DNA sequence: AACATTTTCGCAAATGTTTGCGGTGGATAA
DNA sequence: TTATCCACCGCAAACATTTGCGAAAATGTT
């Protein structure tokens, strides 16, 4: 019929020309503005559908100064926890019309700050971030927040400063783990923690030790592991001692994997000779034999909390809040 | 000293006002256009730095009709393979100044096509996609490609049609697996494949059977598993038969996990009573005891190939190509 | 000094959308 | 008849940038 395909992509202008109306009328008709008659609305919408009109998001963004995109910065996507977190955030964000731009810092503070700049460059409407170890971007954060771009920290959050955070109840989880160890009357514990510069490590370690130190009957040896290989090494050394530990605690999945690399084919039997307990996202422990007992920290649930917090934050400046997700003990056969 | 912070964000206009120049001069100065004298360039750049000017990407996109963003659609992020694939693509894309917008289809064809529309809405410069099972978006794909937005399919690619694809050498991998099984003189094989509607499943199965059917001495039973639970069920049934298989083949990590859920604490010993072989991304097999032998399909490597292909495709319309990533056999202790 | 050339820069249009405001025509009320 | 009001719609500015074209200024050439 008419020149439906004049020009490749439909625009308000093209529609208005065809219909002999002004651009603004077409625009308002498509948004159901009350000023426009039902009749013209119908005509406009029909042609728009026919021409497969779709508002040019570049133009919309420019005009409204919003992008409907959220930035998400993690040390690495490939990590049980982040993975399920991202998955949850993506799903929930979609429901509210937001999409996700995902950036990896590779645990490198430099790349982290570059990612932040990227987020600014793309003018995202908000940022989720899980800190790189030794992150130094603190000033950047406050700067962005002051310039009105909300940031929600998750999992690995800043120690100092007043920020919006969403994380596991680290103390609670570690405390639960410690109590379980006492309940099972363990005597000699090798406790493996993550990177000591991370606040998540400190919180878990402090809470863990606070309980166990009170208990005179149990000896605790603490080791820090930057990665899984570190854990492998520490466990290897420990079980080859003349007096090996009777329990191993792992504060994360990564560490658990590293530890199990040795334990799964060590002469020591789990849980008879040596028991194992982890803080975990829940997927990995089930893969081993016996299944590892763990205190659950659900990335998925945390993701839902994070996006909820972000949306609140975007529609109205709300007071800073530190949200905690309670943990639960999952009984396997390793303790 | 001057009113550096007049207005919150720096724009070309604000700079030009301060410097008493035209907007275009400022614009060109910042891009090192040869028409502009070194002197004014210097002045402009200084003030721009001082005011922390950053081009408004909305406006740039509008003007240039490019976004420097690539869309990536997967059934789910939380999947060993996708995870490492995404990780690689993100890293490589960054190097070329591109960022990633990640969408999940949840293996739902409807959401998949909605995601495609989202990509169009955001006017991404290109799309990576791993198909949902029973995807019906085929017409959409060709439509997008015709309207000049390149699509690179990966891993789960369309069967028919002429598309740019990047995937594992599925036949080769399955063939390698089949040969290994023959070499180890297995007699009764339970072969677990994924969703039968996926071309990746068909390819692997056909190649696998093609080799084994020629070998009269080995009996093969094929089962399809939509998910890990299916695999668990099939294996349970099989090992409880009076005449259980002496080998289990898993075409993916998901299936391997499902199968191992039973095998790891079954009375049958691996590999003495029953051997196991998988096609895998490489992370999961190492968690079990004994470590599972597998034919490797690296999401990470594939990601690098995919982005390379995408970049080629964006700078010049190149002929359709189907790229294959060769696989390799990794010896564990399960076969 | 007259002319030609190069350097340097500004004007204005174009991208597509949103929105405040003003305008038109017709109906109803005074 | 004039005033009032409402329903409907268009004008034009604004958002920030890019870029073709042209003009003024500076420099060079006879």
**Residue ranges per structural domain of chain B:** 12-55, 67-167+300-326, 170-296
Secondary-structure class of domain B170-296 per CATH? alpha beta
CB–CB contact B264 A289 (8 Å): yes
Task: CATH number for A68-168+300-326: choose from 3.90.1310.10, 3.50.50.60, 3.30.1300.10, 3.40.50.2300.
Answer: 3.40.50.2300
- pLDDT on residue B8: 66
Tokens of A202: 């400190």
Are A58 and B123 within 8 A, CB to CB? yes
The CA distance from B248 to A139, in Å, is: 55
What pLDDT shows up at residue B3?
Answer: 41
| Residue A35: partners with Cβ closer than 8 Å, 6 or more residues away | A28
User: Which CATH architecture does the domain made up of B67-167+300-326 adopt?
Assistant: 3-Layer(aba) Sandwich (3.40)
Binned at pLDDT 50, 70 and 90, residue A95 comes out as very high
Q: Minimal CA–CA distance to B137: which of B145, B334, A110?
A: B145
pLDDT of res. A92: 94
Better-predicted residue by pLDDT, A249 or B145: A249
Where chain B has pLDDT below 70, the residues are 1-8
**Count of alpha carbons within 13 angstroms of residue B177, beta-carbon side:** 38
Nearest-CA residue of chain A relative to B82? A78
- Give the distance, in angstroms, between residue B39 CA and nucleotide D29 C1': 27
Give the mutation candidate from B10, B55, B58 for the A interface (greatest A CB count, under 10 A).
Answer: B58
Report the nucleotide nearest the CA of residue B31, measured to C1': D18
Q: Which residues have Cβ atoms closer than 7 angstroms to strand C?
A: A 9, 11-13, 23-24, 27-28, 30-31, 53-56, 59-60, 62-64; B 20-25, 35-40, 59, 62-63
pLDDT value, residue A5: 44
Identical fold between B67-167+300-326 and B170-296: yes
Query: Would you say residue A4 has pLDDT above 80?
Result: no
The predicted pLDDT at position B136 comes to: 86
Distances (CA, A) of B160 to A104, B139, B153, B165, B171: 35, 12, 12, 11, 17
What's the pTM value of the predicted model, to 2 decimals? 0.88
DSSP summary character for residue B216: T
**C-alpha R_g of chain A:** 26
Per-residue pLDDT at A251: 96
- Mean pLDDT value of segment A224-236: 96
Question: In percent, how much of chain A has pLDDT > 90?
Answer: 73
Using pLDDT thresholds of 50, 70 and 90, give the confidence band for residue A7.
very low
- The per-residue pLDDT for range A272-328, each reduced to its tens digit, is 999 999 999 988 999 998 999 999 988 999 999 999 999 998 887 788 999 999 999
Please classify residue A324 by burial: count the beta carbons closer than 10 Å to its beta carbon, then call 0-12 exposed, 13-18 middle and 19+ buried.
middle
* Nearest of B188, B225, B218 to residue B204 by alpha carbon: B225
Taking residues A193-210, what's their average pLDDT? 94
**Cβ-contact A176, A208 below 8 angstroms:** no
> Would you say residue A171 has pLDDT above 70?
yes
| A216 — pLDDT class (breaks 50, 70, 90) | confident
Three-class HEC string of chain A: CCCCCCCCCCCHHHHHHHHCCCHHHHHHHHCCCCCCCHHHHHHHHHHHHHCCCCCCHHHHHHHHCCCCEEEEEECCCCCHHHHHHHHHHHHHHHHCCCEEEEEECCCCHHHHHHHHHHHHHCCCCEEEECCCCCCCCHHHHHHHHHCCCCEEEECCCCCCCCCCEEEECHHHHHHHHHHHHHHCCCCEEEEEECCCCCHHHHHHHHHHHHHHHHCCCCEEEEEECCCHHHHHHHHHHHHCCCCCCCEEEECCHHHHHHHHHHHCCCCCCCCCCCEEEEEECCCHHHHCCCCCEEEECCHHHHHHHHHHHHHHHHHCCCCCCEEEECCEEECCCCC
pLDDT at residue B137, rounded to an integer: 82
Chain A and chain B share a number of CB contacts under 8 A equal to: 110
pLDDT at B303: 95
How far, rounded to the nearest angstrom, does the alpha carbon of residue B107 sit from its chain's CA centroid?
14
The answer to whether the beta carbons of residues A249 and A260 sit under 8 Å apart is no
CB A209 within 8 A of CB A221: no
Q: Average pLDDT, whole number, for chain A? A: 91
pLDDT at A276: 97
């Amino acid at each position: 019929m008419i020149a439906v395909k004049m020009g490749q992509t439909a625009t308000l202008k093209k529609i208005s020309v065809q219909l002999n109306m002004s651009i603004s009328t077409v625009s308002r008709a498509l948004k159901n503005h009350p000023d426009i008659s039902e009749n013209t609305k119908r005509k406009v919408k029909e042609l728009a559908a026919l021409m497969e009109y779709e508002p040019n998001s570049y133009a919309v963004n420019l005009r409204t100064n919003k992008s409907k995109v959220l930035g998400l910065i993690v040390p690495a996507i490939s990590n049980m926890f982040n993975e399920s977190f991202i998955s949850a955030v993506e799903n929930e964000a979609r429901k509210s019309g937001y999409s996700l731009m995902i950036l990896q810092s590779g645990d490198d503070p430099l790349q982290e700050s570059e990612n932040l700049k990227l987020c600014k460059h793309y003018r995202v409407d908000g940022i989720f971030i899980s800190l790189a170890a030794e992150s130094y971007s603190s000033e950047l954060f406050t700067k962005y927040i002051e310039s009105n771009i909300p940031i929600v920290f998750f999992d690995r959050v800043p120690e100092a400063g007043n920020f919006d955070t969403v994380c596991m109840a680290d103390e609670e989880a570690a405390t639960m783990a410690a109590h379980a160890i006492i309940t099972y009357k363990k005597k000699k514990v090798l406790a493996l923690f993550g990177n000591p510069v991370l606040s998540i490590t400190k919180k878990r370690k402090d809470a863990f030790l606070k309980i166990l130190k009170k208990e005179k009957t149990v000896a605790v040896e603490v080791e820090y592991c930057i990665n899984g290989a570190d854990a492998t090494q520490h466990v290897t050394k420990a079980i080859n001692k003349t007096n090996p530990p009777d329990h191993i605690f792992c504060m994360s999945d990564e560490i658990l994997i590293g530890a199990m690399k040795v334990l799964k084919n060590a002469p020591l039997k789990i849980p008879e000779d040596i028991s194992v307990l982890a803080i975990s996202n829940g997927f990995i422990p089930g893969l081993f034999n016996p299944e590892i007992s763990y205190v659950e920290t659900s990335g998925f649930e945390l993701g839902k909390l994070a996006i909820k917090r972000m949306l609140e934050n975007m529609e109205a400046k709300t007071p800073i809040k530190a949200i905690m997700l309670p943990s639960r003990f999952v009984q396997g056969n390793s303790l």
